[in-house]
Structure 1
Amino acid sequence: MTVPAESGPVLVLRLAGPLQSWWATNTFNRRGTQAEPTKSGVLGMLAAARGLDRGEPLGDLAELRLGVRTDVPGIPLRDYHSVSDYRGLPLPQSGVNAKGDQRPTSPPKYTHLTARTYLQDAVFLAALAGPEAVLVQVERELRAPHFPLALGRRSCPPAQPLVLGLRPGGMERVLATHPWQPSVAARRRAERDRRRRGGYAVAPTVSCAVTLELPDGDDLVDDVPSSFDLRDRRFTSRRVRRDLFEVPVNSEGPPSPPDPPHDPLALLDG
């Protein structure tokens, strides 16, 4: 991997939390997630921080390019739901009649089975590139957001720190050189693996998958929002390049202590 000489400021975000869920092809009863943050999800978070309503244009937020580094992939979680009317009535269907009222299901259906998919304990490093004045404003808005922020869905609040600040050097260089951002559990897993192999507590680098938005990218992704209106959601494409970066591990501070031996009867003592 050769780091280009691209320059310019980059706003770096750490997208981490107990749960994340990023838009995928969804139906009424199936809500999936991509393996990494989408541009529509990240721009939606920026729009919430600015206080934009769903029907409002994104303005200068649409000028920003996005790069995403997967520091911790996370574990998929499938959340199972069943939906019914507490009065015991048949559920309505999505279609409406001439008066605008939802029609009942035919034949009557009393229970809908639905599923939601999330990523557990994932950590991503997002780099936003664009005009410096826009990035400065976005950083200020994220530190004091107008609406609550979420990692793809409202039920997924971000952990702190979210904003890591402006960095010089361009999107690719920042994602290649910024230290690895693991969760506590991920760092402990890495240390345990190294100890089992008889090596150092922490390796000097770790391999991270990266998706870079570039004009000459060799892949197309349909996740650029042109409208967030619930009745008229529209998306366009962007070009991306996928890569694998060897990211430096921040070795400052002592390694995590070894996990204590597990004693299932400890709670019964005394």
Structure 2
Amino acid sequence: MSVLTLRLAGPLQSWGSSARFARRTTETAPTKSGVVGMLAAALGRDRTADLSDLAALGFAVRIDQSGTRVRDFQTAHHADTDKAMPVSERFYLADAVFVAAVAGDHDLVRTLHEAVRAPVYLPYLGRRSCPPQGPVDLGITDGDDPAAALGQEPWQAAEHHQRRHTTPTVSLPVLAEVAAGVTLGATLRDQPVSFAPSHRRYALRNVVSTSIEVSNPYFRPPDERQGRAARRPVPVPRHAPEALLTPLPTHHPQDGH
């Protein structure tokens, strides 16, 4: 058994587990169906392909940077009649970072690892309009507990977010899947059964909320922070948009130009 960990970060993410008509919401963390869909796309599987092996993977996700929920309104028209469709209300997570882990048979996990590094179809974070920022692959570890593997991963939040914390460690929320037959925790309808466009199907699964302590790489003792601030004040950068412009060549008046 092995565990594959993935860094899910980008300007926008949207992980919906339910939708009603024109209102498309997002969960506060990646769903299992969304991550399994990303892995299936990386493998190059058709939407009608069998998902039983991927659906059987153990799953857990860590919230490294919760981000901000934002709302957008979108319009569309029917392609054949050009008739306007109802305005849809869509929700996203902006500036969020998560670490997801899937556990399963070693050969399958290794195949997924190779696919994520060289995907057939480009990955996206819940919706096609949400590409990831940087590589999603974090590597493979031995074991069968995805939540335990998350405890071994360094904090993946953005540097500016980490610097805001002044403690040597931080507590990060973890949503871990419960073994089949156990009725603890919350229930989510994001267990993928079929991604077929004609009839998408999702089953229920149970999730428990825990937390993991990770080190803060930017922690400094109070006296050291004060000493550094006194010795090396941070200069305010000059706003110089003209620096991005290419200067025009200068000509001498005698050139006749």
Q: Confirm or deny a common fold (TM above 0.5).
A: yes
Tell whether the 8 Å contact from 2:61 to 2:147 is kept in structure 1 after alignment.
no
Q: Which amino acid aligns with 1:171?
A: P
Are the structure 2 counterparts of residues 174 and 80 from structure 1 closer, same or farther at C-alpha, using a change threshold of 3 Å?
same
| Match status 1:224 vs 2:191 | yes
Q: Percent identity, aligned pairs only? A: 41
Cα distance in 1 for residues equivalent to 2:141 and 2:34? 22
| Match status 1:128 vs 2:92 | no
Are the structure 2 counterparts of residues 258 and 43 from structure 1 closer, same or farther at C-alpha, using a change threshold of 3 Å?
farther
Q: Deviations over 1:34-92 (max 9, x none)?
A: 100000000000010011111111142122111000000011111122345799x783x
1:75 maps to which of 68, 71, 83: 68
Q: Deviations over 1:12-55 (max 9, x none)?
A: 11111111100132134211111000000000000100111111
1:239-250, aligned counterparts within 5 Å? 239-250=206-217
Q: CA deviation at 1:250?
A: 3.6
| Match status 1:204 vs 2:168 | yes
* Poorly superposed stretches of 4+, deviation over 6 Å: none
Tell whether the 8 Å contact from 1:11 to 1:128 is kept in structure 2 after alignment.
yes
| Match status 1:184 vs 2:159 | yes
Cα distance in 2 for residues equivalent to 1:214 and 1:238? 8
Q: CA deviation at 1:258?
A: 7.2
Larger radius of gyration: 2
Q: CA deviation at 1:113?
A: 2.2
> Hey, what does 2:147 align to over in structure 1?
172
Unaligned segments of structure 1, at least 5 residues: 1-7, 92-109, 195-202
Cα distance in 1 for residues equivalent to 2:241 and 2:121? 43
Cα distance in 1 for residues equivalent to 2:86 and 2:215? 48
Q: Deviations over 1:96-148 (max 9, x none)?
A: xxxxxxxxxxxxxx563222111111110111111111100100111111111
Cα distance in 1 for residues equivalent to 2:6 and 2:69? 22
Q: Secondary structure at the match of 1:17?
A: strand
Tell whether the 8 Å contact from 1:9 to 1:130 is kept in structure 2 after alignment.
yes
Unaligned segments of structure 2, at least 5 residues: 220-224, 226-231, 243-257
| Match status 1:162 vs 2:126 | no
Cα distance in 2 for residues equivalent to 1:151 and 1:244? 23
Tell whether the 8 Å contact from 2:17 to 2:188 is kept in structure 1 after alignment.
no
> Hey, what does 2:9 align to over in structure 1?
16
Instruction: Normalising by structure 1, report the TM-score.
Output: 0.75
> Hey, what does 2:200 align to over in structure 1?
233
Tell whether the 8 Å contact from 1:24 to 1:31 is kept in structure 2 after alignment.
no
Q: Which shows bigger deviation, 50-59 or 135-144?
A: 50-59
Cα distance in 1 for residues equivalent to 2:194 and 2:16? 14
Tell whether the 8 Å contact from 1:206 to 1:247 is kept in structure 2 after alignment.
yes
Tell whether the 8 Å contact from 2:163 to 2:218 is kept in structure 1 after alignment.
no
Q: Secondary structure at the match of 2:26?
A: coil
Q: CA deviation at 1:259?
A: 6.0
1:93-112, aligned counterparts within 5 Å? 112=86
